[in-house]
Each structure stands twice: as structure tokens, then as C-alpha cells.
Amino acid sequence: MRYSDIRRHAGLFSEYTELRVQENRSSRISVLNGDVVGNAASSQAGVSARSYKDGVWGFASSPEAGDEAVRACVVRAAANARFLASVEGRDAKPLPSRPGNSEHDLSTAKARVSRKELIDFARELDAYCQKRFPGLLSRSVSLSALDMEKTLLSSDGSASYSLIPRSLAAISLTVEAKGEPIDLYDIFGGRGHFEDNFDKPEALFASIDLLIERLKQKAAGVYAKPGTKDVILDSDLAGILAHEAIGHTVEADLVLGGSVAADYMGRQVASPLITLVDYANTASGRLCPVPLWTDDEGIEARDAVLINRGVLTSYMHNKESAAHFATEPTGNARAYGFYDEPLIRMRNTAIVPGDSALADMIASVDDGYYFLRSSNGQADSTSEFMFGVVMGYEIKGGTLGSALRDCTISGVAFDMLKTVSMVSGDMSWTAAGMCGKKQSIPVGMGGPAIKCRVNVGGRA
């Protein structure tokens, strides 16, 4: 429920302060082998305040959002900041200010579907999977949704409201091949309520057909051979590369914490074909998967062009890091729950498309792989990354060959990006990502396909 007239609390502020009233509403339906094993809804609502004094922060939160709880939070946050300042305070540069005053409610305008209809939707997807592939060892279908509703007031003049919904359908299938279980998954949906992302179950049947076809190919597939290979990373992997391998190393708090990117500003870190942007809310005229107009410090959010034609041009900042680096804040301060403090987080991180055609890129590889879908990714302060790959194909003489069993790819991103020799002209977003960094938070990742060289790990 929308919080009204947050500005009336401005008189409580005694230090630089942000006040946030927030509710996260989530829902999950899980169907496992035809049984509804999960049918749950959750709400977490409350208020938090964060104050800044002499280079340190105080934070307090409460599940109550009445005026007395708001007052208590503001007082406690300021007291915490003063206590820490009394023992650890230092000369600190003033925090920069660029107050955002935005209101965005991305709720559906359609009538909301009932719980029964959601369960029926999931069960119809499950039934279709079983009908199309009776030999499946297991089937898992889940529908999940998260609404994040925030009202923010900052002492430097920001007053903002947002309600950003996300809804996803995930399907995971397992088949037995030579006595071993082989699995593959896909996720559909993204920004928006269920009603805006999904129509009838039939609309997903073609995607399920493709998932089943690829699972069959994978079950009959081969293991990737370990070693350094020429590969085509499809958009799913290019997106996770942008986020994990590069994005984290150029978050300003991690730069201050020892990232190798601290020494690379203004230097050529990638092929001139690579431009990488953390978009605030809009890319190429279209709304991003996780749009942000005002961040949780009250900064008007702007795009951060991290790499421009191969040159490192920017970090992602909150107010404090922008002051430290004597630059403009980018509006990357985000918090997951009302009880969380804002951290520097990515929003919608993507490699900008080039001008090659995917077919030409595959044809240019004599002995390598085409990697399509990742499971997870991890990165490092050194920019060394690892992605799990759950779907891909061999490329032999420029032609796609056998499908691959699961493997892992790795490399040092600032080395690997210099090997990029082709970038496709198309672009797609992954809108289902959750990024973990003290708190877990939704992020968007996107990109074209890229041709590069990476290390492939496998057991062959």
C-alpha cells in the first residue's frame, strides 16, 4: 500500500538522513512432477533510516511504519552515526547531491488473476511437458513474483516513489541418459506483473518444445574438451559476463576494496568492439528489466558508461564513493529490503551490440564451441570469472556439431575482452537475475553474441 506524505517527517532529520518506507511482496507456486509442492505468499514491510556524520553511517529499521516508529528509526540512525563518529569519525568530503523526484508505478492495468488461475497455469505447463516428453525423469514448474514498493525521502531534497513488479515462470526438466540424470531449464517473464508477462499457457508451448529438443540433444551430447578455445558466447552469457566479470570489478566500493580495476581507469581494457553500459532505466528507447529513476540515496539515476570502445571510462558510484573519487554519483545505491542499507549495485548491465551476424560468427570458428545458456556465474577482484554452461554446441569447421553436457568456462575478463573479435548486431536481455552482495537484489543483464577465447573446463 502506498505510503502517503512522507515529506511530513523531514523535520525529524538532524544529520544528513535518508528515510525509506518499503514493502516487498512475493509469491511462489511450485509444481513438481505434477504435485503442487509450494503455494506461498509473503510480505515484508517496514521503515528504515540512515544518517551520515563525519564519514560514517548509522542505520536503523523497524517493521512498524507508524509515525512513532518512523521517529524512533530516525533518532536511532542518527544516534548510531554519532556513536560511530565519536570513535571512528574523520574528515570527510561533503556528500554530493542530485535529488531525484520521481514517481513510477509499473503495476498492471489488467484485472489480477486468482490464485486458482495461477496454479492451473503452472499445472497446464507441467502437463504439456509430460505430454510432449513422457520419458522425463522429473519436471519442475514454478511461478514466482516480486513487487518492490518504495517511498523515499532524503534530507537533501529527494522525495520519490516506485513500484516495480517482476514475474517469472521457470521450467526445469530432467531426463535419464545411460543411467545418469541430465537436466536443462529455461526462465520466462521479467519486469511486470504476471498479467502483463503471460497470457495463456499455450503461448509458452513453442518455448517448451525448444527446451525439450535441446534437452534431448544434450542427453545425447558430448563433454567439452578442457583448454583454451575460440567460442561464441550467446547473449545470455554475454550478459552474465558484463555483470559478473566486469560489472563487479568496477563497483566503486569494490575498487576501494582492492579490485584490479583501480589501476585501469582511462586505459584500454577490452577490444575496441566492446562498449559496456549500466543502464539506469531505458536502453535504446525501451524500458529496462529493472528500471531505476531515483536510487535509494535519493540520487537521480543516470546511465554509467563503464567501457567505451574498449577504454575504461567510469565506475559505478553511490554518494560517498563519488565524493571520494571527485566525480558525479551514478545512482547505483540500492537496497533489497526495508531492513537493508543501500549498497552500490548494478541495475541493467549490458554490452552494446556490434554489426556482425551470428551465422557469420559461427562460420568463422574452426574448432570451438557455441555456448548458449549459463547456470550461474562468479567473479573476483582480479576479474577472473567462472560461468557454468548448461547448454551449448561444438563448432567444427564453422558448423554446429554435437550438443554439450554441462561445463564451466573461465578467464580473466580484462584479458579475455581483448580477444573479442566479433560482436553481433542483435541484443537480448535476461530479466530474471538476482545478484548477491551482502543482500540479494534483482538485476538486468543483456548483450549481443560475442566471439572470444576462453578457458573451458570439463572432464573429458
Partner 1 sequence: MGAVIDGMGVAREALAALKAAGADKASASFSRGEQNELNVDAGRMSLYRSTVNVSLSLGALVGTRKGSVSLNKYDGEAIRQAAEEAVSMARSSESDPANDISPARPLESFEHGPSEPDNEAMYRRLKEFVDYAAERYPDTKLEQCILDFGRGESCYANSNGAEFRDRSGSYSFSAMFTTKRGERASSFNYSGASHRGLDKPLKDWGSIDLLMKQSTEQLDVDSVEGSFSGDLIITPDCFGDFISYMDSVYIGDYAIITGASPWKDRLGQEVVSPLLSLRSEPNGPGIEIGYSYTGDGFRAENCPIIEKGVLKNYSIGFYASNKTGKARCPSGGGAPVVDAGDTPFEDMVRSVKKGLLLARFSGGSPSDNGDFSGVAKNSYLIEDGKIVRPVGETMVAGNVAEILKNIRAVSRERVDYGSALFPWVLTGGVNISGK
Q: DSSP string spanning 297-353?
A: TSBBP--EEEEETTEE---B--HHHHHHTTS---S-EE-SSTTS--EE--SEEEEPP
| Residue 197: CB minimum distance to partner 1, A | 20
| Residue 40: CB minimum distance to partner 1, A | 4
Site for partner 1 in 223-242 (CB under 8 A): 226-228
The verdict on 217 binding partner 1 (CB under 8 A) reads no
Angle CA 377–232–129, to nearest 5:
65
C-alpha to C-alpha distance for 96 and 138, rounded to whole angstroms: 54
CB 7 within 8 A of CB 153: yes
The verdict on 341 binding partner 1 (CB under 8 A) reads yes
Paired with 93 in beta bridges are none
Site for partner 1 in 247-266 (CB under 8 A): 253-254, 256-260, 262-263
| Residue 89: CB minimum distance to partner 1, A | 10
The verdict on 92 binding partner 1 (CB under 8 A) reads no
C-alpha to C-alpha distance for 276 and 144, rounded to whole angstroms: 30
SS3 content of the chain, % helix, strand, coil (to 5): 25, 45, 30
With CB under 8 A as the contact rule, which of the stretches 10-18, 112-120, 288-296, 346-354 interacts with partner 1?
112-120
Site for partner 1 in 289-318 (CB under 8 A): none
Closest to partner 1 by CB, 83 or 398: 83
Q: Tell me how many residues contact partner 1 (CB under 8 A).
A: 85
> Shortest CA distance to 416 belongs to which of 257, 273, 316?
273
CB 94 within 8 A of CB 156: no
For 220, other C-beta atoms within 10 Å of its C-beta total 13
Closest to partner 1 by CB, 168 or 255: 255
| Residue 260: CB minimum distance to partner 1, A | 5
Can you give the C-alpha Rg of the chain in angstroms? 23
Q: How far apart are the first and last CA of the chain?
A: 55
The verdict on 402 binding partner 1 (CB under 8 A) reads no
Closest to partner 1 by CB, 221 or 448: 221
* Contact flags string 367-396 toward partner 1, x per CB under 8 A: -------xxx-x-xxx-x-xxxxx------
| Residue 301: CB minimum distance to partner 1, A | 22
Alpha carbons within 13 angstroms on the beta-carbon side of residue 35 total 4
Closest to partner 1 by CB, 308 or 378: 378
With CB under 8 A as the contact rule, which of the stretches 44-52, 144-152, 161-169, 271-279 interacts with partner 1?
44-52
> Which residue carries 573476483 as its cell?
380
Closest to partner 1 by CB, 4 or 42: 42
Site for partner 1 in 52-91 (CB under 8 A): 55-63, 72, 76, 80-81, 83-84, 87-88, 90
In the chain, DSSP finds a helix count (H) and a strand count (E) of: 9, 24
| Residue 339: CB minimum distance to partner 1, A | 5
| Residue 17: CB minimum distance to partner 1, A | 14
